[in-house]
Amino acid sequence: MAESTEIKALKKISKAGRGSLFFAENFLSLGNAKTVGKALERLTKQGELVRVARGIYVRPEIDPVIGPVTPGIETIAEAIARRDKARIIPTGIYALNRLGLSEQVPMTVVYLTDGADRKVKIGKRTITFKRATPKNVAAIGDISSLVIQALKAIGKSKVSKEEINKIQQLLKKEKNTHLQHDIRLAPDWIRRIMQPVLNDNTI
């Protein structure tokens, strides 16, 4: 007797570790879109999957106290970027928050991307992918890419000495080759903030 699409999907899910994200299209080799959709719906009702957004599911990690735990915004955004073969960089308030320069947690998280413009609802929050020029998503450093976007969000005339000092301390943790690369992509006023760290690192 042939296995149902639901059983095939469950086998695929079970091979993945807890916390693994899946897109509906990951299962299209098992059946047509309508059949796959119904199978995923049933697996969600059974607790095998949690639907985190339209067409996006997770095999949840199980906390002994709070129960199923779903991935954070960053993990979901990065999974979407990998699927779309796109580059993404956090921007605005989210970049400031990631660097510890703001305690504000934005309800709408904005990423610059070289992929398509889109919005993804994750519960009460939204991930917005905003198409940008290739130069604006070309930064490669985990810290330096955030620094460029955070300083743009603060603004040249509003950045404080305290913020500059904190940013420079953070940049000391960046890989030197990444910092060298990303400085060339920054506006002149941001480059002048980043450059002393590079100079210190190359002495």
SS (H, E, C) the chain: CCCCHHHHHHHHHHHCCCCCEEEHHHHHHHCCHHHHHHHHHHHHHCCCCEEEECCEEECCEEECCCEEECCCHHHHHHHHHHHHCCCEEECHHHHHHHHCCCCCCCCEEEEEECCCCEEEEECCEEEEEEECCHHHHCCCCHHHHHHHHHHHHHCCCCCCHHHHHHHHHHHCCCCHHHHHHHHCCCCHHHHHHHHHHHHHHHC
**pLDDT band for position 201 (cuts 50, 70, 90):** low
159, pLDDT greater than 70: yes
- At 61 the pLDDT is 87
Asked whether 135 and 186 are in contact (CB, 8 A), the reply is no
Rounded to whole angstroms, how far apart are CA atoms 174 and 52? 32
Average pLDDT over residues 56-82: 90
Rounded to whole angstroms, how far apart are CA atoms 8 and 42? 13
Q: Which residues contact 200 (CB under 8 A, 6 or more apart)?
A: 172
Average pLDDT over residues 126-136: 95
140, pLDDT greater than 50: yes
Question: Which range has the worst mean pLDDT, 17-26, 170-179, 182-191?
Answer: 17-26
Map out the domains of the chain as residue ranges. 9-61, 73-198
Average pLDDT over residues 59-64: 87
130 or 62, which is more confident? 130
Predicted TM-score (pTM) of this structure: 0.86
Per the rule left: phi > 0, alpha: psi between -120 and 50, beta: everything else, 159 is: beta
Torsion of CA 169, 190, 112, 74, to 10 degrees: 10
- At 186 the pLDDT is 96
**pLDDT band for position 151 (cuts 50, 70, 90):** very high
For 76-127, the pLDDT digits (tens) are 999 999 999 999 999 999 999 999 999 999 999 999 999 999 999 998 899 9
Rounded to whole angstroms, how far apart are CA atoms 142 and 33? 37
- At 1 the pLDDT is 39
